[in-house]
A and B are shown apart, each in its own frame.
Chain A
Amino acid sequence: MIAAGKILISKSETNLLDTNAAMPWLLYGGWITIILLFLTFVVTRSRLKLFAIIGQMEILCFWLLTHGLATSSIADFYFILLGAELFWAGLLIVRIMLKRSVSLQLLIHEFTQSGNYSSSPWIAERLRDAIQWDLVSISTERYALTKKGKIIALLVGSLHLILRNEE
């Protein structure tokens, strides 16, 4: 009985040791994934698809390498996994902002002091995008929303009202 108790104690002690040993590796893995995602963001520059693919592969590697450790700290594992996915999505949006932000273009323009700046090239480009993504259609030189465009406009309009973005 005593001997069995000893065995039980030593097993639980082993589990505790495993938990403590696995925990830092899970956390190191999480931070390494975040750092790798950021480095990939810097290195891939405007190659959006490349960043998206490599980023997902890095998160997959984190999952493969740590899901065995996660039995002892399952909450931490899911916190890190969700955090890494959201970090990846956030970096994707920031990359799109860097590529398309008119305010940044305006800042670059003020830096280079090159002639007058106009919104028209940007509006023309966005209209082309809207047509390509089937949000807007054109007939007799007038642009109108498609069904898909109307749904998105309704959603965005409601969000703008909630966020009081209307000027």
Chain B
Amino acid sequence: MNSLLATLAGFLLAVLICEVPLRFAKIQSALSKILIIHLVVAIFTYRFILSSPVSVSSFLILWMGTFLTWFGIRSHMESSILLRLLLLLKKSPMTATELLEIYEKHHGIALRRKELIRGGLLEQNADRLQLTQKGRLILTLVFYLREPEAVQKESQV
């Protein structure tokens, strides 16, 4: 029980340290820094609980699972349109046009493009945006993990 609490406390510490790079970038753009922080904190946490009967394998499985869940929730908090719409409507009721206008102005496509460029997935090339090698790699992975028909349909939107 103590080793479980110590591991979760270690994970919480890693999450708090990750907030430093995340003040300047979105989670996908700062992924390499975040992975390094988690690796270092995980090593220190395991050294701390070394006297307990927990093996490195089970410690790794717990850390991996917690990381994946945190990554998903944190990423969703940053980018979810639905949550943004709820926050906008918290101020006052709006029509669909008003919502779209405000959303586009503060959180719209231009901002997302900027973030993709910052994350090294897109690059500006003579008035045109192009996919970088990293962007192509991510997209290949996405195509593989999704229904090909769905990707085709959405690319036509």
Q: Which residues of A contact B (CB under 8 A)?
A: 23, 26-27, 30-31, 34, 41-42, 45-46, 73, 75-80, 82-94, 96-99, 101-112, 114, 117-124, 126-127, 129-130, 135-136, 141-145, 149-150, 152-154, 156-157, 159-160, 163-165, 167
Contacts and interface: CB of A to CB of B under 8 A. Distances in A.
B64 A34 contact: yes
B106 A167 contact: yes
Given A79-B61, A119-B104, A103 B90 contact: no
B4 A136 contact: no
Nearest to B72: A93
Given A83-B65, A103-B116, 13 more contacts: A23-B55, A30-B58, A77-B58, A79-B62, A83-B63, A86-B69, A103-B28, A103-B79, A108-B142, A127-B85, A143-B89, A144-B93, A163-B74
A75 B54 contact: yes
Interface in B126-156: 129-131, 135-136, 138-139, 142, 144-147, 150-151, 154-156
Given A31-B57, A107-B121, A119-B100, A87 B82 contact: no
A167 B111 CA distance: 10
Contacts, number: 229
B86 A111 contact: no
Nearest to A167: B106
Given A76-B55, A79-B54, A119-B100, A101 B79 contact: yes
A145 B86 contact: yes
B32 interface: no
B75 A97 contact: yes
A34 B61 contact: yes
B58 A27 contact: yes
B52 to A, nearest CB: 7
Contacts of A96: 72, 76
Nearest to B57: A27
A111 B76 CA distance: 23
Q: Main SS of chain B's interface residues?
A: helix
Contacts of B150: 46, 99
9 contacts: A31-B57, A34-B64, A73-B55, A86-B68, A93-B68, A93-B76, A96-B76, A103-B79, A126-B85
Contacts of B55: 23, 27, 73, 76
Contact of A110 (B4, B52, B77, B130): B130
A99 B142 CA distance: 10
A122 B81 contact: yes
